[in-house]
Structures are given as structure tokens and as C-alpha cells.
Amino acid sequence: METAGVPCVDCVPGAGTPNIGLAWPVFTVSAGSTLSITSLWQSTNYTGPCTSVLILKQGNTVVFSTSFPFPGGCASGGLYGVIYTVPAPRTTGFTTVIGTITGGTNKSGANTFINVQ
């Protein structure tokens, strides 16, 4: 069950316990910090070229983007990951981190984890 009185950000309604809603901001980053951002994905039924894409946005403005074409592509049933080392944005404000995977005409989200150093 969802936790009453707490914003349900990235929760799955009706998913059961544990399903935690976190109030924003989740954390803050000081200027000059370095972010280690890990993007993980599984290719469930796709085999072919694939590229990990990472985008940091503040509002509608892209403040950082990069991509990494995975050597040898993806194979059905494979687990994959890329670790990016990214400088913190120079501008202040709420920043959205977006991790996607593209392959052929397919595009999918990826689990993305951040470590601030």
C-alpha cells in the first residue's frame, strides 16, 4: 500500500510493501562535485546494436548529455551497464537525470543510480 500523506514519487500504486514515497529533493549536490551515474538494463528480447544515453535536464534545458554505444551490441537475455563520471551542473536548480537505451527503432528506459563524490 502507498504511504498516506507522503508524495508517491516513482512509486507503483498498489504494488504492496515495501513501496516508499520520497519527498523532493531526494538529495542536493554542491558545485564542483563529481557524479558517478550508473545505467543498468536488460535486453529481454532484442538482439542488435544498442546505445546507452544519459541526459541531465534543468526544466526544459539540457545541461549535460552523453552516450555510449555498447561494444558488440545487446543480445536477448543479456544484462548490461555503463558507469558515467559527470561533473555536477554549473547552474543551480532541480536536475532530472534521464537514462535511456536505444537499439534499432527501439527506445527504453534504464535503471539509473547516482553516487555523489
Give the model confidence (pLDDT) of 48-86 as tens digits.
899 999 998 888 999 999 999 988 888 888 888 888 998
pLDDT band at 115 (very low <50, low <70, confident <90, very high): low
Residue whose C-alpha cell is 498498489: 14
Mean per-residue pLDDT, 20-29: 58
Name 112's bridge partners: 39
Distance CA 8, CA 21 (A): 4
Distance CA 115, CA 86 (A): 10
| pLDDT score for 98 | 84
Residue 92 shares a structural domain with residue 42: yes
For 17: left if phi > 0, alpha if psi spans -120 to 50, otherwise beta; the answer is beta
Per-residue pLDDT at 102 exceeds 90? no
Q: How many domains does the chain have?
A: 2
Residue-wise pLDDT for 31-40, tens only, equals 778 888 888 8
Residue 23 shares a structural domain with residue 58: no
Residue 3 shares a structural domain with residue 48: no
Residue 44 shares a structural domain with residue 76: yes
Domain ranges, residue 9:
1-28
Tell me how far the alpha carbon of residue 114 is from its chain's centroid.
Answer: 8
Residue 24 shares a structural domain with residue 60: no
| pLDDT score for 117 | 47
Q: What is the number of residues in the chain?
A: 117
Residue 1 shares a structural domain with residue 17: yes
Per-residue pLDDT at 21 exceeds 80? no
> Rounded to the nearest 10 degrees, how much is the dihedral formed by the CA atoms of 95, 109, 9, 22?
-70
Query: Please, what is the average pLDDT of the chain?
Result: 76
Residue 24 shares a structural domain with residue 38: no
Per-residue pLDDT at 29 exceeds 80? no
Distance CA 104, CA 46 (A): 9
Residue 44 shares a structural domain with residue 70: yes
